[in-house]
Amino acid sequence: DIQMTQSPSSLSAFVGDRVTISCQASQDIGNYLNWYQQKPGKAPSLLIYGASNLQTGVPSRFSGSGSETDFTLTITGLQPEDFATYFCQQHHDLRELTFGGGTKVEIK
């Protein structure tokens, strides 16, 4: 299995801050990396696909970067509605898709 390790597992930030979340794959996955946002009691929603492509309708303050084993999700100018949990997911190995453990972004 390809293991996905996210860091940090949680963070506190102010509205307006720049936030970065890291995701590391246990092996080279190219750019087969997606990011999701999940709010309490709701289903996840797709933010970024292919490591750096913004899903339609997602605000441009969200961005993704990275390749091979190291990836980053950046929120530039954190908004109140961005307080949520974020997950990365690899789709390099279609036989065993895997998610990172999640990063909870909380209000400071």
Written as six digits, the tokens of 94 are 């279609």
Q: How many residues bind another protein (CB under 8 A)?
A: 24
CB 18 to another protein: min, Å: 24
Q: Does residue 99 interact with another protein by CB under 8 A?
A: yes
DSSP 69-107: TEEEEEEES--GGG-SEEEEEE-S-TTS-EE---EEEEE
Tokens 């990011």, located at residue: 35
Of positions 14, 60, 81, 94, contacts another protein by CB under 8 A: 94
Contacting another protein within 37-76 (CB under 8 A): 38, 43-46, 49-50, 55
